[in-house]
Chain A
Amino acid sequence: MKARYFATLLASAALFSVPALAQQSGKDVYSKVCATCHATGLAGAPRYGNAADWNARAGGGVGRFYQSALQGTAKGMPAKGGHMTLSDGEVKGAVDYMLAAVKDGLKLGKAEEAAPAKAETKPEPKPEPKKAEAKPAPTPAPAPAPAQQSPVAASAPAAIAAAAAAAPSGGDVNAFNRMLKPAGKRNLPPPEDGIHDPTVDGTHALQPPLAAFGTLPKSFAGNRVNWVEALDKNKISPRADRQDPNAVPVVMDLNVVREVKGSMPDVVYPHKQHTEWLDCSNCHPAIFNPQKGSNVISMAAILLGEKCGVCHGKVAFPVSECRLCHSKKKEMPAATAQGK
């Protein structure tokens, strides 16, 4: 709890509190304020160090950049990055700092401009360390107080950042899907998935998920593979024993029905589909008492990663697939529905 509060302080300090005392360098302002969006290109912000992004806007010259940074733009750049306590000079310094990172590109870049349609998302080694720097900002602990002074300005970029984080990067703020992961972002090959380091040979030796999933039955969540069907139809044959490919698991076919309050269909917990993958001891007794009705299970617990949520939402199909668990329709007396 305490740690979390502290983290919150740090977060707010790092993002929005800039002590108004001394004039800060462009680099400081960039890493404390602007990097939030400009490091990764949130909401379509031109990315730090990415010449193509900046070239596309270079028409108006430095003057226009100053003006946009100071007054904001309709397409998502908040005035002064949402931090009205910054002086004009500090904001301009940050613009200069960002432009300096692409100075060479701005001149040489013209040739590359021909093919920037598929702008790479990778080549910015700078932003990562920047963010790391931003966190332990040398702001004194009681920083949040000054940060409160401009609630509107401060929460605006927060909202934008949150919105932008969910938006497909590409940057149209009014893209059709804001929250739904677009098709092009699913089952990405390792070098593009954001966790593998594309500069390592090993990453390129790995199998891309889609190469393996092509022949497997589809689903709409998780790996987007229906693992139960894949197993039933012998599309995959995972070993039940490390060495013996012919070992058969101890499968138990026992359904446990759990009645659910309200209108949701009852939950049918099937032992069969689980014991094909898991041992009794993976669940009993640590997660569930092996006795019908002796376990208190709720969606809240599941969403916190307890009970069924130990696996569902992490490795097995995620919680969004309500009907797979809530599979037994209730007979609801239409006229006199009485709670339970």
Chain B
Amino acid sequence: MRRRLLILFAALLAVSAVPPAAAEYADVVINRAAEKNGMRPVVFPHWFHRIRFACRVCHTELAINPRAASNIITMSDIIDGKFCGACHNNDIAWGVDRCDICHSGKRGLPSGIVGGHETSGPGRW
């Protein structure tokens, strides 16, 4: 009984997990507020940024908590120079006017790290 439920559950997971498995390793979907406010989810590519910055820049200097979906990010924070806005300010990188480069995720994606990560759940400590 339990096992069968598990199998069913696994099957559903397997089915719904199909698209993200093809995504690049360590891409993070951020969709706490975006879609509720009519924007597409944000996709943050770790690989792209780690070529340019050490982890400490974001996860220490900018105090972005390295735990998917735990940061409450708003556009007003961003234009005030917090989170993505610390760099996406037309000085270090292109500015916030280019909405669709960040808000480029498929509608309906849940927040979380994607790309075939091999440990389950968000980081815990």
A residues at B contact (CB < 8 Å): 7-8, 11-12, 14-16, 36, 40, 42, 128, 131-132, 144, 148, 151, 154-155, 157-159, 161-162, 165-166, 169, 181, 185, 187-188, 190, 192-197, 200-203, 205-207, 209, 212-213, 222-225, 227, 236, 238-243, 249, 276-279, 281-282, 286-287, 302-307, 309-315, 318-320
Q: Which residue from chain A places its CB closest to the CB of B29 in the assembled complex?
A: A195
Per a CB cutoff under 8 Å, which of B22, B102, B122 touches A193?
B22
In residues 43-80 of chain B, which contact A (Cβ within 8 Å)?
Answer: 43, 45-48, 50-57, 59-62, 66
If A155-B7, A313-B119 touch, whether A196 touches B61 (CB-CB below 8 Å) is no
Per a CB cutoff under 8 Å, which of A206, A241, A278, A309 touches B119?
A309
Beyond contacts A144-B5, A165-B17, A302-B119: 6 other A-B pairs, Cβ-Cβ < 8 A, are A157-B11, A222-B26, A278-B59, A305-B121, A309-B119, A314-B123
Q: Can you list, as one digit per residue, whether each of B112-125 has a CB less than 8 Å from chain A (1) or not (0)?
A: 01101111111111
A-B contact pairs, 28 of them (CB 8 A): A8-B8, A12-B8, A14-B12, A15-B11, A36-B15, A40-B15, A151-B4, A165-B11, A193-B23, A193-B24, A193-B27, A194-B20, A197-B105, A202-B101, A203-B104, A206-B45, A209-B48, A223-B26, A224-B25, A236-B51, A238-B50, A238-B52, A276-B54, A278-B56, A282-B56, A305-B121, A305-B122, A315-B46
Per a CB cutoff under 8 Å, which of B5, B10, B21, B114 touches A162?
B10
If A166-B14, A313-B118 touch, whether A197 touches B21 (CB-CB below 8 Å) is no
Q: Which residue from chain B places its CB closest to the CB of A165 in the assembled complex?
A: B14
If A277-B56, A314-B113 touch, whether A158 touches B11 (CB-CB below 8 Å) is yes
Please report the C-alpha to C-alpha distance between residue A225 and residue B19 in the assembled complex, in whole angstroms.
22
- The answer to whether A195 touches B19 (Cβ under 8 A) is yes
Q: Which residues does chain B contribute within 8 Å of A192, judged by CB atoms?
A: 22
Please report the C-alpha to C-alpha distance between residue A165 and residue B22 in the assembled complex, in whole angstroms.
12
Q: How far is the CB of A239 from chain B (nearest CB, A)?
A: 5
Q: Which residues does chain B contribute within 8 Å of A7, judged by CB atoms?
A: 9
Q: Which residues does chain A contribute within 8 Å of B8, judged by CB atoms?
A: 8, 11-12, 15-16, 154-155, 158
If A162-B10, A194-B21, A304-B121 touch, whether A209 touches B47 (CB-CB below 8 Å) is yes
Per a CB cutoff under 8 Å, which of A14, A195, A276 touches B20?
A195
Q: Which residues does chain A contribute within 8 Å of B47, judged by CB atoms?
A: 209, 212-213, 223, 225
- The answer to whether B18 touches A238 (Cβ under 8 A) is no
Pairs of residues from A and B, 7 with the lowest C-beta to C-beta distance, nearest first: A202-B100, A313-B119, A194-B19, A165-B14, A310-B123, A158-B11, A202-B101
- The answer to whether B51 touches A194 (Cβ under 8 A) is no
Q: Which residues does chain A contribute within 8 Å of B105, judged by CB atoms?
A: 195-197
Q: Is B90 an interface residue (CB 8 A)?
A: no
Q: Is B36 an interface residue (CB 8 A)?
A: no
- The answer to whether A196 touches B43 (Cβ under 8 A) is yes
Q: How far is the CB of B56 from chain A (nearest CB, A)?
A: 5
- The answer to whether A194 touches B23 (Cβ under 8 A) is yes
- The answer to whether A279 touches B60 (Cβ under 8 A) is yes
Per a CB cutoff under 8 Å, which of B4, B18, B66, B113 touches A165?
B18
Q: Which residues does chain A contribute within 8 Å of B45, judged by CB atoms?
A: 206
Q: Which residues does chain A contribute within 8 Å of B27, judged by CB atoms?
A: 193, 195
